Structure 1
Amino acid sequence: MITEAYRLLGTPRAGGILIVADHASNRVPEGVDLGIAAELLNRHIAIDIGVAGVAERMAADSANGDIAAWLANVSRLVCDFNRDLDAPGLLPEVSDGHEIPGNVLCAEGRTARLAQYFHAYHDDLEAHLVAAEPALILSLHSFTPALATCDKPRPWHVGVLYNEDDRAARIAIPLLEAEGLVVGDQLPYSGKVLNATMNRHAEAHGRPYLGIEIRQDQIADADGQALWAERMARICHQVAAALQGA
């Protein structure tokens, strides 16, 4: 299923795994002019690099079809789905020092943009979750190997984020460490600060979820995406099984 706001790969199943990737696309729809250089759409301010490839592979390689993927179909510069409605970055007017003049909207324009993308994305996602409650939601993001303002590289291969519900995180962290990875617990940033989609669809309803941030150089090419797709599918099944047996 493909809509203006999202792509759905596979069919969400009760007791299965649903990947949610809020920043999986750098698409700017026809009729939206952000007023920025095209090259910016290939940077992290526009898309979580590598995430779509991992999610697509996980859904396609699922042996029994129990993994589905809910992927944003517009750039986070068009509408950042992982923000609260009152957050200034929801329709960002500035991102990482770059002005986004096409997001300086009148009240009517803002309402229309949010209806077409934000509300469509979240309303439909919630409807699918209600219809087929998954055993685990995998919130999938990626982060830059270093900050633009600092030359020091980020050492973590992967970060695990959560707000109040850390059930899946506590199971997943040692599993990821057993893969020989440097794992950040609430690093490189905290889910207590940035967790809007999972707060809305998981924590508010008691649904188990695993918030994952993969360093972009780990999934920048097809080989890395395949490696991480296999790894995350395996670990998500282990986490879901452990949660169900708890």
Structure 2
Amino acid sequence: MTQAYEQIDGGGLDLLIVADHASAHVPANIDLGINPALLHEHIAVDIGVAEVSRSLAEQLGATAILGGVSRLVIDLNREEDAPGLLPVMSDGHAIPGNRDADLNDRMMRFHHPYHHRVAQLLDAMTSPFILSVHSFTPKLASDPDQQRPWDIGVLYNQDDRAARIAIPLLEAAGLKVGDQLPYAGTLLNATMNRHAEANGIPYLGVEMRQDLVGDAEGQARFAAILGPVALACRRALT
């Protein structure tokens, strides 16, 4: 493991599980200037994603790559010129340590190595398929009236091939599915735009609701549902 990512070698299946926001880690030489308790909340990490991704790698015999630092250190799911790359505010919380941070240093240490490794892993596959795993908070502190009742969201930009296969399968498994919800992949899809859509690689992007994957039981449930759905999409599209 480098500080930029953790790689899980679950097997040789041509399916890469990508988890941009799987870690709440902040390197010792970076001071965000925040209450450490915030590192356990959704602004710092996609709750449940690391555990579900590990389970899926083992279940499918697939490789997973997990982002190695908190999204507050640098957001790996942002374009290199995106304003949210180095957040100074997140859901009403100031991140004062990022105001004068060296963006180029963070890019060289974390963003570039992470995306380079994703590209390397995909290049080594004959018929690659990507499963992009995120999670979302059911309630935003900065917008408490916004309702987010879905169990899982399916996100995509221009390539909706896997989404069209996955949505009815997820519904059949008993989940309430948001199509392009709680936000649209046309807006927040940087990693998949870069590695999947730009290269014609099929992918499924999902966002699990955090209160449903916050414990081992929920994580096991979602991994058990997502595994067969990802395989069905891969069979149809590769």
TM-score over 0.5 (shorter chain)? yes
Does the Cα contact within 8 Å between 1:140 and 1:212 map onto a contact in 2?
A: yes
The alignment-based identity, stated in percent, is 56
Count matched residues. Answer: 237
Does the Cα contact within 8 Å between 1:21 and 1:70 map onto a contact in 2?
A: yes
RMSD: 1.5
Distance 1:41 1:97 in 2: 14
Task: Map 1:207-222; keep pairs closer than 5 Å.
Answer: 207-222=201-216
Does the Cα contact within 8 Å between 2:20 and 2:77 map onto a contact in 1?
A: yes
**For residues 137-170 of structure 1, what are the alpha-carbon distances to aligned partners after superposition, in whole Å with 9 as ceiling and x for unaligned?**
0110001112322246422111100000001111
Task: Map 1:180-199; keep pairs closer than 5 Å.
Answer: 180-199=174-193
Counterpart position of 2:4 = 5
Counterpart position of 2:66 = 71
- Which amino acid in structure 2 is aligned with residue 8 of structure 1? Q
- Secondary structure, counterpart of 1:30 in structure 2: coil
Query: 1:60 Cα shift?
Result: 2.3
Task: Map 1:1-246; keep pairs closer than 5 Å.
Answer: 2-10=1-9, 13=12, 16-62=14-60, 65=61, 67-105=62-100, 109-148=102-141, 149-151=143-145, 153-244=147-238
Does the Cα contact within 8 Å between 2:11 and 2:57 map onto a contact in 1?
A: no
Distance 2:157 2:146 in 1: 27
**For residues 16-70 of structure 1, what are the alpha-carbon distances to aligned partners after superposition, in whole Å with 9 as ceiling and x for unaligned?**
21110000000001111111100110110000001111001111233xx2x1111
TM-score (norm 2): 0.95
Return 88-97 or 71-80, whichever deviates more: 88-97
Structure 1: runs of 5+ lacking an equivalent: none
Distance 1:213 1:8 in 2: 21
Distance 2:38 2:126 in 1: 37
Alignment CA distance shift 1:238-1:38 (3 Å): same
**For residues 104-126 of structure 1, what are the alpha-carbon distances to aligned partners after superposition, in whole Å with 9 as ceiling and x for unaligned?**
236xx221111000111111211
TM-score (norm 1): 0.92
Distance 1:21 1:232 in 2: 14
- Secondary structure, counterpart of 1:212 in structure 2: strand
- Secondary structure, counterpart of 1:71 in structure 2: strand
Does the Cα contact within 8 Å between 1:77 and 1:92 map onto a contact in 2?
A: yes
Distance 1:221 1:173 in 2: 24
